Every structure is written in structure tokens, then in C-alpha cells.
Structure 1
Amino acid sequence: MQMDKTIKSIAILRLSAIGDVCHAMAVVHAVQKEYPDASITWITGPLEAQIVKLLPNVKVCIFDKKQGWKGMWALKRSFVGDKFDVLLHLQWSIRASFVSRMIPAKRRIGFHPSISREKQHWFVNDYGEQPARAHVLDSFLSVSARIGVSSIELPLPLNLPESRVCGDYVVLNPSASKAERNWTEEGYRELIDWLVSNGQRVILTGGGSAAEKQLASMLTTSGVENLVGQTSLPEMMSILASAKLVISPDTGPAHMATIVGATVVGLYAHSNPKRTGPYCDLDKVVSVYEQMAEKEYGKPVSELPWATRVHSADAMKAITCEQVIAQVRSLI
């Protein structure tokens, strides 16, 4: 579809999680380029707001899901007297759909019914197109395509803070939000040994949870700098932006790295990297997803539903250190 010149105000709804918010940021930047005179208001979660605020000229409205209905009514009151021309509803969850009804908008665009989940199509009055590809970011673009925005440009022009890390280094972000998505401690150790023995300076990044800190402490050795739990999200993005390479399982920092232009080696077993992998580096992932999915479901991935996940707690163990080192060696 073509640009709609009558659109002067746009609301974006994507509350979480970090990786998907990064995908949405790429789409919102593309919307900004197509609609430079439109005001854009993004409703998101308090943690995610830290990185959304890095986008220039976006008004950020925070909704804390912990506040439940009380928070929803407060959000509704904050928009009294407003009426957005368009709401881009970029989250499948039923909670987000209830939040969407607190946002006054003439046109509410959600996902195409073929990929709609948790009855999102009940809460919108317009549907995105059928996505051209399986990736989550492409599903977001299928929604924005309804207002004439169907492509993105990366990296994004973000207002990043100055990085505390200088020089030449590789980032290893070892922990995912779910422990089952982490690679093995033994695999990480062997990879680190190879990197250090080949003259690479290694920076560990990650959040401040006890599990993340514990894993990072076990991996910290000579030639490794441990910054896990010591940076804000914007500070981490600055570190990722200057890395020669980022290595990470399926988690938010892999996508943070993508939108700031870093090269990413993603480690995948539980979800299809064609759907959730680092968008610009899908050719660089080390993945055992297809073989693990076929083992669990008894049929090839091509015959499985769009968002099928592998549930085996040991799936990541199928990734060998030889596979990861071979990919890293080809890039550095």
C-alpha cells in the first residue's frame, strides 16, 4: 500500500520482550522515515523503555504489567482527549490486546489472521498482510505495510551513551532469559580458550540475575572481562555496537547487537532461527533446530506450524564446539 498522507499521529504497542522490541524499533524507524511529520507514541514496558528511548523523536509511554487493571485504567486516563490516526498492534498476547483497548485510535492494525494468536484479531479493525518470510521482524513489517512501510534499514541511528570499553574485542553473551536456551558451560569454556589462544580479547555481557552472574563467574579467566550485571541496557548496546563479533544464544542481546550493526553468531536449538534469529546474520547461526525438531515431532520443519518450539532440556547440547569455532574462525 501507499503512504497515507492523512496520518499525523501513530501509536505503537509492543510491551516486551527485549528482542522483539528491537525488531519493532527497526520497523518504527522505517515508519519515521516514511512519515517524518507524524508524531509517534510507543507504549512499552519499563525495562524495554530503556532502549526504546534511544530512538530519536519517539514519545515513550510506560505500562507496567505488574499493575494489572489499575495500570490499564491509568493508561486510558493518560490518553483522554487524544485520538491516534493509527495504532500498530505488534504483540500477540491477550494482555497486550486488552492494553490496546486503552489506546484511542481510529485505525487499529494487527497481524494477519493466519499468524494471529490469543485472539488478537478480535481487538483490531484492520489486518496486516500475509508475511513474506517467517521471521518475527517480517511479521511486524506485514503490519506496517498497511500504511506503506515494508522495508527497514539497519543499523539504527540511536542515541547511544559512550562505551566504557575501548579497543578490539569479541563479545560473548552466554545467558538467555531461559536457562534451557544456554549453551553448555563446557562449550563456552572451550570457545573462550580458543578465542584467547588466538589473541582475542573477550568481553562477557548479560543481565544482573544470580544465574547469569554465576555462569559468567565460572567463565571468567585470563583474557576475559566480565561485565555481566554491570551495565544498563543502553550501555550494553554501546559495547555491542563496537564489537568485532557478538556470540549469543537466542536472547535479547543478539537482537540488540543486530540493530546497532554488530555481526552476530547465534546459537539455536529450541526455536527456528529463520523466525527468531539475528535478522542480518541468519547465514551465520549455528543451529541444530531442524534435527531436534524432527526428532521431537517425527516430521520435517517444513511440515510443522510456524512457531513450533523444541522442548528437550538437552537440545543445546547437540551444538558442538567444533561447529561454533568453525563459524567464529570464518568471521575473525
Structure 2
Amino acid sequence: MMKLSVFGKDTAHSIEVALDCRHYIGDRPCKFNRECRECPEYSPQGTRILIIKTGALGDVLRTTILLGGIKRKYPDSHLTWITAPGAVSLVPKSIVDRVWPYSVEVIARLSVEEFDLVLSLDKEPEVAALSMIARSKDKRGMGVDGCGAVYPLNKEMSYYYRLGLDNDLKFHHNRRTYPDLLAEAVNIPYDPAVDDYHLDLGEADREKARCLFLGTGLSPGQKVLGINTGAGGVFVNKDWTLLGYVALLQELEKRGITVLLLGGDRESDRISELHRRFEGPFIKDVGTGHSLGVFASLVSMCHVVLTGDTLGMHVALSVGARVVSLFGSTQPTEIEMFGRGEKIITPIECAPCYKRSCDIHPSCMEMIRPETVLASILRQWDMPSAKNLRTIGKSL
């Protein structure tokens, strides 16, 4: 135990503090609210590991796949994760000891604290530079040199680094998934049979989602198809077309499949338009603009989720829903479905491209046919709940 004895004017006010305990806070009592001396909850930090991963939101969530391998290799490790303020709720506090939103204050902490291992997982220079500030003899992932250029810190990172520079390799030759690639890049064990997403759902978020769900007239446990109607706006053609959704919903209504429309503020107009076209009781709306925790809790109440390659897809996989995912301009190979769903890949020859604009018609998403999507949904609809197949936690 790393002890610090602090003495007052007399021995009656002296205390003994365990500075290396993972529960120690410093400015107030820890959650166990007892003195450190002979505390049964004393837990030394062990291997101190810093994870730097700030965005995008879906990438933060799928990076949690590394946590199982980290805990197997370093079972008594103390984990600190630096992420974007908007991604804090995606980092599981049940596993990660400290979640720091990226800020000036965090940079100050990095200039003082020491870590046994730093995993720097962002390629953006301003984020990768944090790995150069962090004090550690073992740094893996991405760094920044004196000229501001991003480069790999360890030899295992070379293939993952090359994928970002070689579109031919990334688009046409690589057949490995993101978890496999990332684990190799930072030399962390990965086993697809046991390693999975990790996402904590708070009880308050679950309860609000349950109220929203029941408020639409749905019954507890009712079998529902969730449709995540949008996708991120960075790359073009990540979300399906309005006409595609309309044709699909017509067929779902005939089959009596209840639909729950999901999305954020960006999708509010599209959801309103779908409601205008379909006024029947089979289509439900829980609104937009919810927190990530409430959104994830709503997704967890769906049996199947239809989504593009976006945060909603990663959330659906993390909560154990069955997933039908549509791929247009982005690379489907890197997505691990864990046996819980299907990928529908555009037949267009120029995909994937990761372009930010496109004037090709019909576009890659327009070439995904409603009947193809319907067939995939029906296959997943008839399969048992994927929640029984989830492997989250087995590796911890």
C-alpha cells in the first residue's frame, strides 16, 4: 500500500491514506466512506492504462471491444479513458475506472500522472498529440512528430496505419474486422468468441425509455422492429432513401409487424414525413432528441433493428438486438456482427468510396431494393432473441 500519513496538531487528528487505491478521490471520502487504515475495500490500481479515443461516437463504442482483452492480459489494471464530452456515456464505467472528457484540465493531468501503458487510438493530430504528452514508457497506437505529422508508435500498428493511407487495400483487399485490426495494432488479445461490445445502461435511462415505449400503446415485451432512420452526415449515402423506407413500410404493414421509428434531431423531419404517410397503429414514434442512454435503452427493447452504418448500428449490436445493416459508401468488411444479424451491401461497383459528396444516379443506396431489405428483416424476425447469444462479460 502506498501510504501517506497526515498529522494534525495532535495524534487524534492523524490519518493514514492509501494513495494507490482505485477508490481514492482525495477531496472527499470514497464511496465506502471509511478510513483507509485496514479498509476491506482497499484495491491497489495495478497496471495503470490510459486509453485515448474521442470519436466518432460509433468508433468509441466499438473500441470497447478491447476491454475484455485488456482485462485478461492485465487483470488488476486501472483504466483511464479520454474521450469527447459527447461520448462519455458510451464508455462503460463498470469497467473503466476514470472517464475524462477531453479538456484543458485533462492536458494538465497528463503532464503530471504516470501510466504503465498508453493506447492512442485516434488518427487526428490534435488527439494523437495527447499520447506524446502522456508520461509512459510503453506507448502504442498513434503519435505526432515534431512537424505535426501523425505516425505509428509501435510496429504492430503498421497495417492498421497503412489502411488509412491506401484506399485500394482498405476498399478491395482487406477482409479483417475492426476489432481484429485494432487489437493487433495495440497488441491486445482479441477473441471473437468472447469479446464483445460493452455499454452500461443506467436505470434512470431504462425507466424513461420504458415510459416512452409504453406511452405509444405498446405492451411490455412486445416484439418490435426498430428502424433507425438516419446516419451520420460526414460521408454521403450512409442512410437509405425515403422512398425505400416507404416501400418497406407498406410491406411491413401488410404483415402486421409493429415498427418503432428511431433517430435523433437530424431525423425528425424524415420521421414526421413517414408518420404523415402512414397513420396506422403499426408505426410508433417515441420522438427524437433523447440522450444516448435513453436512445440505447429504446433500442434494447427492439427485437430487430434496421439501420445504416452508423452509431445506431453499434448501439443495436451492443444491447443484443438483431441487426439488419445497410452499406452504401462505407466498408462493410470491417464490421463484426457477432452472429446477430445481416449486412445488406449495395451492388454498385464504385462502393465503398467514403466520399463526402456524389452525383451518381441511381446512387449506391438507391440500388438497395426494398424487397431485399424485407427478406432480411423477416429472416431475423423469425430467429430467437439475440440477447441470449450475447457474450458481453464472459471475458471479464
| CA–CA separation in structure 1 for the residues paired with 2:370 and 2:189 | 44
CA, structure 1 residues 157+213, in 2 after alignment: closer, same or farther (shift >3 Å)? closer
Q: TM-score, normalised by structure 2?
A: 0.67
The 8 Å contact of residues 69 and 188 in structure 2, kept in 1 or not, is answered as no
- The 1:101/1:227 distance shift into structure 2, 3 A limit, reads farther
> Is contact 1:8-1:39 (8 Å) kept?
yes
**1:330 matches 2:379:** yes
Comparing 22-31 and 257-266, the one that deviates more? 22-31
Shift of 1:228: 4.2
In the other structure, the counterpart of 1:224 is: 283
Change (3 A) 1:111 1:85: same
The answer on whether the counterparts of 2:91 and 2:199 sit within 8 Å (CA) in structure 1 is no
* CA 1:287–1:149: 2 relative to 1, 3 Å: closer
Report the equivalent of 1:171.
226
Which one of the candidate residues 46, 70, 75 is aligned to 1:36? 75
Partner of 2:106 in structure 1?
75
The answer as to 2:122 corresponding to 1:91 is: yes
Task: Work out whether residues 268 and 288 of structure 1, in 8 Å CA contact, stay in contact via their aligned partners in 2.
Answer: yes
Q: Looking at secondary structure, tell me which structure has more helix per residue.
A: 1
Letter in 2 for 1:320: R
TM-fit CA distance, 1:258:
1.0
SS in 2 for 1:318: coil
Aligned residue in 2 for 1:100: 131
Runs of 4+ with >6 A deviation: none
- Work out the CA distance in 2 between the residues paired with 1:233 and 1:194: 30
Structure 2 partner of 1:215: 270
Q: Distance in 1 between matches of 2:283 and 2:347?
A: 29
- Structure 1 distance, partners of 2:380, 2:314, is 18
Whole-angstrom distance in 1 between the partners of 2:155 and 2:99: 24
CA contact (8 A) 1:265 1:281 kept: no
Could you tell me which amino acid in structure 2 is paired with residue 319 of structure 1? Answer: I
User: What is the letter of the counterpart of residue 309 of structure 1?
Assistant: Y
Work out the CA distance in 2 between the residues paired with 1:258 and 1:175: 17
SS at match of 2:100: strand
Letter in 2 for 1:134: R
When the two structures are aligned, how many residues end up with a matched partner? 296
Residue from 179, 196, 201 that aligns with 1:154: 196
Q: Does the CA-based 8 Å contact 1:110-1:120 persist in structure 2?
A: no
How far did 1:182 drift? 1.6
Q: 3-state DSSP class of the match of 2:133?
A: coil
Cα offset, 1:281, TM superposition: 5.3
DSSP-derived class of the 1:61 partner: strand
Given candidates 49, 67, 84, the residue that maps to 1:45 is: 84
Q: Secondary structure at the match of 1:47?
A: helix
Shift of the alpha carbon at 1:154? 2.9
Q: Percent identity?
A: 22
Q: Contact 1:206 / 1:229 at 8 angstroms: preserved in 2?
A: yes
Answer whether contact 1:265 1:328 (CA < 8 A) is retained: yes
Structure 1 vs Structure 2 CA RMSD: 2.8
After superposition, the Cα gap between the structure-2 partners of 1:155 and 1:81, relative to the gap in structure 1 and judged at 3 Å, is closer
